[in-house]
Structure 1
Amino acid sequence: MAWDEWEQIRANAAAHQSTAMRLNQLASTAGGGGAGKPDLASSPAAKKAAAKAIDDDLEPGVTRDGRHAAETTNTAVRSFGAKDGHGWDASRALKRAHETWEKQVQMLLGRLSSEKQALSATGISVQNNELDVAARLARQSQIQGN
């Protein structure tokens, strides 16, 4: 490895450490994570609380309310439906609208689930990245005999 490459790696590592220290300082200030937004979930505890809120409140609420909407819409579709061979156009329109709405609810539940997983895994991802960088630097250092 050329001396210039080693100097570049050291400079990058120093910049990374400096950035991490600044981020830690921002997270520990009274106002939160900077830019005047104290509601940003930047600490592990806040991320865990946000994931718990999704799990305990949002997902069950969306599921419960979706079930209720499905029941009432199905009742309306049946009441406007054909009883004597002729039904209202509203029945078919409600059914199509409800099918679209159900897809949107499923997409919302999927998004909530992925956000919950991302909030739960953020600390692990950062730690894994740091371990990976440390391992790469250690390998490079061993090559140089340090």
Structure 2
Amino acid sequence: MSAPAETIWAGTKAPSLAEIEALADAAFAALPEEFRTLCVGLRIHVDDFPDEETLTEMGCESEFDLLGLFRGVGLAQSGEVVSGQMPNAVWLYRRPLLDYWAEHNETLGHLVTHVLVHEIGHHFGLSDDDMAGIEAAADPLETPQA
């Protein structure tokens, strides 16, 4: 006999920034090696929400509209690092990710992997099909639940 749902969830908290970062680090480590080697120097940041400047720049109506963001110079643009240039980085936004997760039928790990691959994909100028292939290679057993 399993425990009642209220008992199972009574002590559960939303994942912290550090826990989302750990999911992102694990997702990145699971990406194909040839993909990761092209991401040398890429930094992954996790914040609760995007800042006001980012929300304005991206035309967001709500702080929940943006799950992640790539900042930097993508390989598709120039690929060459310029002196004084900030390192390429991906931001993942915890609260919008958790909000999206609560409304959809997929695991949090899958969602973090999807957003991370999508944002890194901007670095490479990849198509949605390319990104889906990389995502599948990262964890072929992790699929959205129907």
TM category (shorter chain) comes to: under 0.3
| Richer in helix (by share) | 1
Bigger RCO of structures 1 and 2 (CA < 8 A, at least 6 apart): 2
TM-score, normalised relative to structure 1:
0.22
TM-score, normalised relative to structure 2:
0.22
| Richer in strand (by share) | 2
